[in-house]
Amino acid sequence: MNKIPASKVSASSSVRSSAPASVSCDDQYECPDEYTCCHMLDGGWGCCPYMQAVCCETECTAVQMDTLVIQLETAA
């Protein structure tokens, strides 16, 4: 799944209580709620439309965390 660009945080978005929830990538960029912030090749941020996604250079993948832990434990 391809990433979408992260949105620049505006000063007014932190003040509005009715603003939709978001995920903070850093103090300047955010992604929609239930997305994962991913570093892009250009040094910026991208938003992957999965929670707790695994980010690659150009794409992202949904991974069940319990499956990832089992695979890591098996490899060790």
CATH of residue 37's domain is 2.10.25
**Average of pLDDT values for 47-76?**
68
- Return all residues near 20 (Cβ < 8 A) that are at least 6 apart: 32, 33
> Domain range spanning residue 31?
4-75
Alpha helices in 1-76 (DSSP H): 65-75
What's the pLDDT band for 65 if we cut at 50, 70, 90? low
Percent of the chain exceeding pLDDT 90 equals 22
First-to-final CA distance of the chain: 29
For residue 10, pLDDT beyond 50: yes
Count the alpha carbons within 13 Å of 35 in the hemisphere toward its beta carbon.
Answer: 25
pLDDT of the residue at 17? 46
For residue 70, pLDDT beyond 70: no
pLDDT of the residue at 33? 92
For residue 18, pLDDT beyond 70: no
Predicted TM-score (pTM) above 0.85? no
Structurally, the chain folds into a number of domains equal to 1
φ, ψ at 39 (rounded to 5°): -70, 135
